[in-house]
Chain A
Amino acid sequence: MKIHPYLRAYMAGIVVPTIVLVFLLTAFIIARFGCHVPIPIELAMVFPMGVVPSLFGIWNMFHLWLGPHRHLPIGFHGAILPLILMPSGYLLGKTLGILKLTAEGVLYFQAFSVPYAFFGIALACGVIAYYLVWKYLIGFFNQVLGIA
């Protein structure tokens, strides 16, 4: 399989976030319409639904474009992605009015606050999770689609 390698890289990249999104969306529907959570969480779904899967695909295309001599191992390549996603998520959240910076931490939906220290922990968790996901899952899909 030599044709359309970038298309295959994109497809291999979006598989994992697309599957995760189904579960996120289910949890959202249960919370919003089943448990009648008063917070407009649909606003918070914009970033994970709209941006993350495409970015996974583009990031995998970028890995392919770098070639075997220039790219990092796929796990490390994926571990860089949270460093781009977290600031992007923050900017989009601020633009949509989902979150606001306060003295104690980040205030989401004018309802609950997350201390700044938790963001460091979340970033570390994200880097580890992305390293593992990219190394094992996206690496596997790359093999299946004949890219790796």
Chain B
Amino acid sequence: MTEQEEARIRELLKQSLRPAQAELSRDLSPQMLARLQARAVTVPWFDWVLLGALAICLCLVPSAIPVLLYNL
């Protein structure tokens, strides 16, 4: 490839590719915050009741714990 051709290719590439943006066009932090807030889990009361029932069951019948650990 001659120097002339190389220069021609360089010129064509410069024309076809857009110049790279050194800075962000917009602030991404609000989007990130919104995404983090959207992920926040809300636990319904029913699940709290189940969790409480589970804790009470295991406290009242500790013998069930090894059975649970082995089988599950």
Interface presence of B32 (CB below 8 A) = no
User: In the bound complex, what is the Cα–Cα distance between A90 and B69 (angstroms)?
Assistant: 12
Which residues of A lie under 8 Å from residue B43 when comparing CB positions? 136
Interface presence of B72 (CB below 8 A) = yes
B70–A89 contact, CB under 8 A? yes
A121–B70 contact, CB under 8 A? no
Interface presence of B21 (CB below 8 A) = no
Closest B residue to A126 by beta carbon equals: B72
B interface size (C-beta, 8 A) = 20
A39 nearest CB across to chain B (Å): 11
Interface presence of A44 (CB below 8 A) = yes
Q: Within residues 14 to 43 of chain B, which ones have a CB less than 8 A from any CB in chain A?
A: 39, 41, 43
A135–B47 contact, CB under 8 A? yes
A136–B64 contact, CB under 8 A? no
